[in-house]
Amino acid sequence: MGVFSSFRSIYALDTLDTRFTSSPRVPYQAVVDARNGHGIAPGTDAPVELDSRRKPIPPTRSLWGTAEFYLYYVVVTVSVAYMFWVAFDVSRPSDPNYYKYERWLAPGWIPGRRVDVSDAQYRTFRRNTPYIFALLLVHPVLRRVYERLRPAPTQSKATFSTSGRIGQPGGAAGDVKLQQRTSFDSVFALIFLAALHGFSVFKVVFILYLNFSLATKLPKQYIVPATWIFAVGTLFANEIFNGYPYAKLQSFWMPWTSPTILQGGVVQLSWGSWLDGYSGIMPRWAILFNLTVLRLVSFNIDYYWSLDQGAGSPLEKKQLDPANLSENDRVRTPAPARDYNFQNYLAYTIYAPLYLVGPIITFNDYISQCKYRSPTIESSRTLKYGIRLFLTFLCMEFILHFDYCVAISKANPVWSDYSAKQLSIMSLFNLHIVWLKLLLPWRLFRFWALLDGMDPPENMIRCVSDSFSTVRFWRAWHRSFNKWIVRYLYIPLGGSGVSGRFGLVRTIVNYLVVFTFVALWHDISLNLLVWGWLIVLFMLPEIIGTKLFPRSKWENNLKAWRMICAAGSVANVMMMMSANLVGFAVGVDGLKNIIYGIFSDWGGIAFLLTACGVLFTAIQIMFELAQIAPLAPILHRASSHTHEIAAISFASVVRPGPRLSAVAGEGGELVLGHHGVGVKGAEFEVREWDVEGGELGGEGGCEGF
């Protein structure tokens, strides 16, 4: 394999996450077997996109080699280079405002450059990266040592899986492996928590115990409402009481033991203050606990749904091989009743690699992967994922060494000192840095989980520069959280598949509930609450626009329809930038000042119109990228409760090819031949109702870093 091929494989979708290149309904072992010459690869789901009338959108002619697109290439190339220059220019020591933010800069490792360390989250991550990498290597080694000291008993006879293969671990072997893994995970997690939070580990475990008791001791009909009340109440209580300092708990419950002043003015510290003095590496445990709250909900509701299964194993009823489950089956199939115990619960909720930042994995999926190692865990793929992570880190470091946009915004600048051009480009770079600072820890801790034999979902699947749809943007940002929201909140609320007179109103209300929860989950602050509501507000133009300008009405003039979509997408990008600047960068007041700076003179308005023109050309390229690089497993999927089926003419949409999985429609026959694929006698049927496969928004797109 040449250098170019090796580099290309690092940036392949399969390296990022196998969920993007294989169907979530097909066990990945079939792909591995086909690669080794023992079968035919099932391929991804047929990449069929439907219009507003549930009709197929036929493939369009490629525009890459047209004169129109050559013009776009020139505009985008020059514009991107110019944006980097503007950001670099305002970051030079010769800039008049340099002295205002110089204190936010630290010596850098690139000769002659300082590095922007003004963002507290990234500064903490950057400072602790060497220790995290050390832990990342030590933790899997400790597990191997533990497994050698406490080996799982081997079966004396070869066992047969339901798929008929010899050597697959049986149910008993899976249970033994689960016990082995969770016993290590639970003990290591407690040690890990004690190191992170000191004596606050007792507060965390107490909250975990309360939640476990709700799920396992309440009558079934009260589990779900009690779970949500407890989850939201915990978020508010952690914020209001600032993590429950022991000193305050002592003064409230045992005021007679409060600190006393001895002779000479010496203060005798109480035991509460003494415990607070040993608060670990990360004293503010309550901030990090928000992610754990999601796992608490996952355990409780997965347990609640398992109560509906009745007698018998769901795997036996469906004739599924527990050692060879698909992604959807791992998530949807309840664990046996005996697996909903406190040790497994503790191991799951504070599983060390995913405790701090995720990605989020459901309880059912965690238990399944503990029993049977996922075939997606391969050394070569994990190595390439690690290299990709390192290159992303270098990208972030390069930007922070040459563009100090975050430091400028942190230094309470006088925004009128900057031109509209500088304000706009600094805002854009600010958002890119927010995206990168979230991407890096998510990938680092997922890399740790992969090294440990656990495969959680990839969180970032679309580059922030390749986002033209508000709805699609949010399904690609923090994807594991999106999948959690869909499974436990959005679908139970009714999703977007509500029909009838008030269907659109119900959909908007559902979005409001979802994004209000998302905002409160991130942080109980006005900026984020405004951010959540702005997101819903800014989704409305796209939702309404898709109904007013359906593709079906423009079949005779698709170019005009593409131009209308691009113009609407420019507005989408502007609105997304505004909302995210409020939520994650400059706040409401900062956005007001930026907008005022842009509209304060005709030069600013002229620049804004020029920027919209550049965005228009860039969005045309995004449209074409979406045509050639679909993320097949995360296409439009309808809600499970609606069981929507799109009946489409197969021959008019699906191109012949060897990698295709499909189901023939009723009365039809799916024909697989050497020269392609076709349907005989009926229309083709695309099934799109998997809850676990569904996500808020539309299809995915290319991921850039």
d(CA 390, CA 386): 6
Task: Give whole-number Cα distances, 310 to 217, 314, 339, 444, 592, in Å.
Answer: 18, 9, 16, 40, 57
Q: Which residue has the higher pLDDT, 601 or 192?
A: 192
Give the CA angle between residues 444, 445, 448 to the nearest 5°.
Answer: 95
d(CA 520, CA 550): 35
Query: Which of the given ranges, 305-319, 558-572, 615-629, has the highest pLDDT on average?
Result: 558-572
| Global confidence as pTM | 0.82
pLDDT at 18 over 60: yes
Over residues 551-575, mean pLDDT: 86
pLDDT at 398: 95
pLDDT at 607 over 70: yes
Q: How confident is the model at residue 663 (pLDDT cuts 50, 70, 90)?
A: very low
d(CA 248, CA 32): 57
pLDDT at 309: 72
d(CA 487, CA 520): 19
Task: Give whole-number Cα distances, 585 to 509, 594, 624, in Å.
Answer: 27, 12, 31
Q: Which range among 126-130, 278-282, 452-456, 673-677 shows the weakest confidence by mean pLDDT?
A: 673-677
pLDDT at 478 over 70: yes
pLDDT at 63: 86
Sequence-distant contacts of 99-106: CB under 8 A, at least 24 apart: 100/408, 100/411, 100/413, 101/404, 101/407, 101/408, 101/410, 101/411, 101/413, 103/411, 104/404, 104/406, 104/407, 104/410, 104/411, 105/404, 105/407
Instruction: Give 78-96 pLDDT, tens digit per residue.
Output: 999 999 999 999 999 999 9
Over residues 347-370, mean pLDDT: 94
Beta bridge partners of 185: none
Best CA proximity match to 204, nearest among 284, 318, 119, 117: 284
Q: Which range among 48-52, 145-149, 477-481, 617-621 shows the weakest confidence by mean pLDDT?
A: 48-52
Q: Which residue has the higher pLDDT, 616 or 549?
A: 616
62: number of Cβ within 10 Å: 11
Over residues 226-231, mean pLDDT: 96
Q: How confident is the model at residue 257 (pLDDT cuts 50, 70, 90)?
A: low
Residue pair 115/430 in contact by the 8 Å Cβ criterion:
no
Q: Which residue has the higher pLDDT, 246 or 627?
A: 246
Q: How confident is the model at residue 550 (pLDDT cuts 50, 70, 90)?
A: confident
Terminal alpha carbon distance of the chain:
22
pLDDT at 143: 94
Question: pLDDT averaged over the chain?
Answer: 79
Instruction: Give 373-414 pLDDT, tens digit per residue.
Output: 988 899 999 999 999 999 999 999 999 999 999 999 888 888
Q: Which range among 218-232, 371-385, 472-486, 628-642 shows the weakest confidence by mean pLDDT?
A: 628-642
d(CA 624, CA 508): 30
pLDDT at 316: 63
d(CA 611, CA 367): 50
- Three-class SS of 21-46: CCCCCCCCHHHHHHHCCCCCCCCCEC
pLDDT at 686 over 90: no
H-run or E-run covering 585: none
Residue pair 476/462 in contact by the 8 Å Cβ criterion:
yes
Q: How confident is the model at residue 304 (pLDDT cuts 50, 70, 90)?
A: very high
Over residues 521-526, mean pLDDT: 78
Residue pair 214/227 in contact by the 8 Å Cβ criterion:
yes
Best CA proximity match to 47, nearest among 651, 636, 669, 702: 636
pLDDT at 52 over 80: no
Q: How confident is the model at residue 668 (pLDDT cuts 50, 70, 90)?
A: very low
What percentage of the chain reaches a pLDDT higher than 70?
Answer: 77
Residue 152 CB partners (closer than 8 Å, separation 6+): 173, 176, 177, 180
Task: Give whole-number Cα distances, 639 to 406, 470, 692, 697, in Å.
Answer: 40, 20, 9, 12
d(CA 275, CA 248): 11
d(CA 306, CA 492): 16
Q: How confident is the model at residue 466 (pLDDT cuts 50, 70, 90)?
A: confident
pLDDT at 154: 58
Over residues 598-613, mean pLDDT: 86
Residues in the chain: 705
Which listed residue (401, 478, 522, 643) is catalytic?
Answer: 522
Residue pair 235/524 in contact by the 8 Å Cβ criterion:
yes
Q: How confident is the model at residue 346 (pLDDT cuts 50, 70, 90)?
A: very high
pLDDT at 626: 79
Check the CA dihedral 503-509-510-515 and report its sign.
positive
121: number of Cβ within 10 Å: 12
Beta bridge partners of 446: none
Q: How confident is the model at residue 312 (pLDDT cuts 50, 70, 90)?
A: low
Q: Which residue has the higher pLDDT, 700 or 180?
A: 180
d(CA 514, CA 492): 11
Residue pair 441/625 in contact by the 8 Å Cβ criterion:
no
pLDDT at 653: 29
Q: Which range among 136-140, 606-610, 639-643 shows the weakest confidence by mean pLDDT?
A: 639-643
Task: Give whole-number Cα distances, 476 to 40, 142, 294, 350, 396, in Å.
Answer: 30, 34, 19, 25, 20
φ, ψ dihedrals at 43, nearest 5°: 75, 180
Active site residue 675: no
